[in-house]
Chains A and B, each alone.
Chain A
Amino acid sequence: RKEVEQDPGPFNVPEGATVAFNCTYSNSASQSFFWYRQDCRKEPKLLMSVYSSGNEDGRFTAQLNRASQYISLLIRDSKLSDSATYLCVVRNFNKFYFGSGTKLNVKP
């Protein structure tokens, strides 16, 4: 079983739409949680950390449900520049586990 599972998409949405991504993780002892963004043929870059209390950064909102081992990312008012692959990442002790990514295409 994979450590982190994500819907690969793609999600094709119009500009201005709200889109939600989900992922689940298998190890209940996981300590830290993140969403990364990866553009085509580039390295992953941190989008935001995810905390149990939920956190927001502009148009992006992340939620963590430890009981269900479930992480979500909500993007409001999608922009063309949001088109990318979004990676759900979990840290267990000293190792980071990456989901396979969810591809988002924002269309004009």
Chain B
Amino acid sequence: EADIYQTPRYLVIGTGKKITLECSQTMGHDKMYWYQQDPGMELHLIHYSYGVNSTEKGDLSSESTVSRIRTEHFPLTLESARPSHTSQYLCASSEYPPRQGMNTEAFFGQGTRLTVV
């Protein structure tokens, strides 16, 4: 089992509320990612980080923000939730390949299913 945890697993919240989705990993991975996935659809990268104090926007534009103050922690924040933010948010982490030619996979948390009403 991967040592990457997301909380909460499910969240139903009203429009306009500020929310933070938590993601923590105990594997010491430098790289962490946030993906957004609607039911039956593909994963879209919305944020990633190469290490502490490094954050980058992903390929899908998102109104959310992230921070990386500690290696193990990569929270995602929505300042004002809207119904269009309803989706599943998946956090992942990986390590740098220790040597050329090695495949190092991404490990996923169990996801947060967010519903904004």
Contacts and interface: CB of A to CB of B under 8 A. Distances in A.
Contacts of A89: 106
Contacts of A94: 31, 48, 50
B90 A49 contact: no
B110 A42 contact: yes
Question: What band does the interface of chain A fall in when counting residues whose beta carbon is under 8 Å from B?
Answer: 20 to 34
B107 to A, nearest CB: 8
B103 A96 contact: no
Interface residues of B, number: 25
A45 interface: yes
B3 interface: no
A55 to B, nearest CB: 10
Given A42-B110, A44-B108, A45-B108, A98 B43 contact: yes
A33 interface: yes
Contacts of B110: 42-43
A86 interface: no
Interface string A24-48: 0000000111100000011111100
Contacts of B39: 41
B92 interface: yes
Interface string B87-117: 0101010100100000111111111010000
A100 interface: yes
Contacts of B97: 31-32
Contacts of A96: 33, 45, 92, 94, 106
Contacts of A50: 103
Nearest to B110: A43
Interface of B: 31, 33, 35, 39, 41-43, 45, 48, 50, 88, 90, 92, 94, 97, 103-111, 113
Closest 10 interchain pairs by CB? A100-B42, A43-B108, A49-B103, A32-B103, A98-B43, A46-B105, A96-B106, A43-B111, A43-B110, A44-B108
Interface of A: 31-34, 41-46, 49-51, 87, 89, 91, 94-101
